[in-house]
Chain A
């Protein structure tokens, strides 16, 4: 269960007026402001928004990578800023950066993160074996991941996020760059997590994906929450017939998609 209340994050950007300018101007960019929502156990919550809306920044704050400037959030009752270590054990994160170690095998990648989560050698190996077979990586498990396809790499990355069987799972654009088959198996996997009673929060800019998967949808644009409810409620609120039209109406403009 994730509960976010009025999370805000600003970045200061230093800029030069020209290439040779000595002075830099600092500009404050508001990436996320006053974002509040809940994501419940046994539900899939979609964080929907155009590129640059603040989805990744929100997920980074929830995964303790960035400290919010204001607002607070709890994950299963643990406070985001006060109990970082506890939060990190509760969370499984597939973040914006999904890199894996090329020179290690898929199995070694998984076991490394298992051990960092405090698992013993034997339970780490057992859990890695289970995930390898569930993700269909058995044939590749003991090869260095250097030669893996993008879909195979994504599987290792998601396995890594789930290695310690976390109750809460954050997924940042988990289907980005995947082909249709891989996208389908990723959706399958996310539904499986829901069936296990996990709390899944995932971000996407793709409407169909959100419509196909989510119990609840949080639409954000320009760092603000525009809508929070079920997909059906989103349609009703916007008065549109398709979710895509509803999305465009709810974020207030269509230029956001290309911004």
Chain B
């Protein structure tokens, strides 16, 4: 079969697309999952962040033995902290999580303070509980501010400038621009956009490979003049179109969700406009064509739908796990990371969100690497479609 007919390829591609889109239930659920999951995570993150900042603003300090430190209580009250004097059974309640942290005043606090010894305050907390730690940190900062005030007053009484006791002052200069700080929360978007470029392809790839074999329609097809390379290209094109649809739906889902989630109120000046949308599409279009090629090559290897499904889910989890490395990595990414499929895409998408300049070589990698991988995978796929061993069911 040396000839390659474009018109036959178009006939197959059109039929595959019609066939795929008529599979309403699986297509609907795949696209629905893609459309909803990213925005859902965004909303959850928004509400969690909001709840945490509200809890820290309206803080209550449970103080045991408050009567020994009336001055501290007054200080806290002036700073807007509500006081819960002498909570009962506080250790058990901290353990259970009813209380986030408790300030325990030493019975000798007043006398130690009067004599100029360090007066003891114990902060009881449960550090393994994530939601308690910001509250504990806030309480600790408030007590520190009381201590700093007393210290400064003592120095002034002795005629010493408080600055003398502060030989070094640490000032933090955070270099991340406001956009960058917002983008950190929204890197989740990069992840879910790539996720869409995978989810949209799985069901379709399974259907046109193992599904065709299992429904026994591949054999009749191969007795017509259509060649395996025409079939492979057509099927790849059809699955990629569905995948591209999934990616577009996912991004649109984010665009809509961002209209309803007032991120600006949280101090996250986030921008996902036309420029970012175009940047995302420029990365995701080649990606949406690369993933199906790989999945098809894997799916065609199976003799049954079940075999195909397991070899296909291997490919799927690979795509899903690679960005986890970027998520969890503590050190800076090595230079070649930009050229690893999936990871490179993830890095460039994050740069688009952070409004960073993207070098031409990285743009080239976004297109050239998928083209190479897709070519090899589609070739392998076409070879497998005509494999006599799989045909004979052996």
- Chain A residues close to B by CB (< 8 Å): 11, 13, 57, 60, 63-67, 84-85, 88-89, 91, 93, 95-104, 108, 112-113, 115-118, 144, 157, 160-161
Interface pair B220/A160, CB less than 8 Å apart = yes
**Residue interface bits B215-226, CB-to-A below 8 A is 1, else 0:** 111111111111
Query: Within the complex, which residue of B3, B22, B219, B224 is in contact with A88, where a contact is CB–CB below 8 Å?
Result: B224
- With A11-B392, A116-B224 known as contacts, the answer to whether A85 contacts B3 (CB < 8 A) is yes
Contact A117 B224 (CB under 8 A): yes
Q: With CB as the reference atom, state the residue of chain B lying closest to A163.
A: B224
**In chain A, what residue has the closest Cβ to B215?**
A99
Residues of chain B with a CB closer than 8 A to A96's CB: 219
Instruction: Take A98-B216, A99-B216 as given contacts and tell me if A88 and B223 are in contact as well, using a CB distance cutoff of 8 Å.
Output: yes
Are A117 and B225 in contact (CB-based, < 8 A)?
yes
Residues of A within 8 A of B388 (CB): 65-67
In the assembled complex, B307 has its CB within 8 A of some CB on chain A: no
B185 / chain A contacts, CB cutoff of 8 Å: none
Q: Indicate with 1 or 0, residue by residue over B1-37, a CB within 8 angstroms of chain A CB atoms.
A: 1010000100110010011001100000000000000
A102 to B211, CA, bound (A): 11
In the complex, the chain B residue whose C-beta lies closest to that of A88 is B225
Return the contact of B11 from the options A85, A100, A116 (Cβ within 8 A): A116
Inside 8 A of B18's CB, which chain A residues have their CB?
104, 108
CB-contact partner of A84 in B1, B15, B19, B392, under 8 A: B1
User: Can you name the residue of chain A whose Cβ is closest to the Cβ of B212?
Assistant: A99
Q: Which residues of B contact A65 (CB under 8 A)?
A: 219, 222-223, 388, 391
B129 proximal to A (CB < 8 A): no
* The residue from B216, B225, B391 contacting A85, defined by CB atoms under 8 A apart: B225
Query: Is the Cβ of A91 less than 8 Å from the Cβ of B225?
Result: no
CB pair B217 A112 closer than 8 Å: no
**A contact residues around B217 at 8 Å (CB):** 97, 99-101
User: Bound complex: CA of A13 vs CA of B8, how far in Å?
Assistant: 35
Q: 11 A-B pairs, CB-CB below 8 angstroms?
A: A60-B392, A64-B223, A65-B388, A65-B391, A89-B225, A97-B216, A97-B220, A99-B215, A115-B8, A116-B224, A161-B220
- Give the complex CA separation of A84 and B222 in angstroms: 11
Q: For window 201-252 of chain B, which residues contact chain A by CB distance below 8 Å?
A: 215-226
B220 touches A98 (CB 8 A): yes
From A57, A60, A98, A112, B15 is in contact (CB under 8 Å) with A112
Contact A104 B223, beta carbon cutoff 8 Å: no
Contact (A112, B218) CB under 8 Å given A65-B223, A66-B388: no
- A104 to B: closest C-beta gap in Å: 6
Instruction: Give the chain B neighbours of A99 by CB distance below 8 A.
Output: 215-217, 219-220
Contacting residues, chain B, for A64 (C-beta < 8 A): 222-223
A85 and B224 CA atoms in complex are apart in Å by 8
- A169→B1 CA distance, assembly (Å): 22
Q: Cβ of A85: which chain B residues have Cβ within 8 Å of it?
A: 1, 3, 225
Q: Which A residues are CB-close (under 8 A) to B219?
A: 65, 95-97, 99
**Minimal Cβ-Cβ distance residue in A for B12:** A116
Chain A minimum-CB-distance residue to B15: A112
16 other A-B residue contacts (CB within 8 Å) besides A60-B392, A113-B220, A115-B8: A65-B222, A65-B223, A65-B391, A66-B392, A67-B388, A84-B1, A85-B3, A88-B223, A95-B220, A100-B215, A102-B215, A103-B19, A112-B15, A116-B11, A116-B221, A116-B226
Contact A11 B394 (CB under 8 A): yes
In the bound complex, residues from chain B placing their C-beta under 8 Å from that of A88 are 223-225
- Nearest residue (CB) in B for A103 is B22
Contacts of B12 in A (CB 8 A): 116
Instruction: Please indicate the chain A residues that have their CB under 8 angstroms from the CB of B215 in the complex.
Output: 99-102
Most chain B beta carbons < 10 A, residue from A57, A112, A116: A116
- Residues in chain B near residue A66, CB distance under 8 A: 388, 391-392
Known: A13-B394, A99-B215. A113 touches B225 (CB 8 A): no
Q: Specify which chain B residues have a CB less than 8 angstroms from the CB of A57 in the assembled complex.
A: 392
Which B residues lie within 8 Å of A118 (CB)?
225
Partner of B225, one of A108, A116, A161: A116
- Please measure, in the bound complex, the distance between the C-alpha atom of A223 and the C-alpha atom of B8, giving whole angstroms: 36
The residue of chain A having its C-beta at the shortest distance from the C-beta of B386 within the complex is: A65
Inter-subunit contact B23/A103 (CB<8 Å): yes
Nearest Cβ in chain A — how far from B229, in angstroms?
A: 13
The 8 A-B pairs of least Cβ separation, nearest first, read: A99-B216, A97-B216, A97-B219, A103-B22, A99-B217, A93-B223, A99-B215, A116-B224
| Minimum distance in angstroms from B127 CB to a CB of chain A | 49
CA distance A99 to B226 in the complex (A): 17
* B391 closest partner in A (C-beta): A65
The residue on B at minimum CB distance from A31 is: B392
CB-based nearest A residue for B21: A103
Assess whether B11 is in contact with A115, with CB atoms less than 8 Å apart. Answer: yes
Tell me the minimal C-beta distance from A67 to chain B in angstroms.
Answer: 7
